[in-house]
Structure 1
Amino acid sequence: METFCGFQKEEEQMDLPPGFRFHPTDEELITHYLHKKVLDISFSAKAIGEVDLNKSEPWELPWMAKMGEKEWYF
């Protein structure tokens, strides 16, 4: 999903309940997301954004977040 200036494309917005927070532990990130992504086993994680750091300036990164929290893992 692509974002621009903090706004997601309307047809791709997530329908999440109020108060939802995506805050997985390091172990959860590795076992449930990264491992599947590396192996390409039907990876789908709407809450995790993907950014090509070679095509983005550092000050653009916060606006590419999928959700309100601005935590990034590299």
Structure 2
Amino acid sequence: MIEHQPAQSRFILRKDDQECVLDYSVQGDTIDFTHTYVPFRLRGQGLAELLVGEGLKWAREQDFRIEASCWYVRKFL
């Protein structure tokens, strides 16, 4: 369901031919989750929360120090 695209530094979730996105950047041992986006008609379904959960799980498995420029991701730290 959720696809990690490391070359593009993002996680995506496709639904109804639309993409929900969690972007990040990595500097050394620190990952910064910079942006989440869910198309308007897909909002309110918990899709951003699924993306953030997957992104944070992956970052912890990689032993990154986690930061969040994105206000939405900050809610989960």
TM-score by length of 1: 0.30
Which structure carries more helix by proportion? 1
- The structure richer in strand per residue is 2
**Rg comparison, structure with higher value:** 1
- Structure with greater contact order relative to length (CA < 8 Å, sep ≥ 6): 1
- TM-score, normalised on structure 2? 0.30
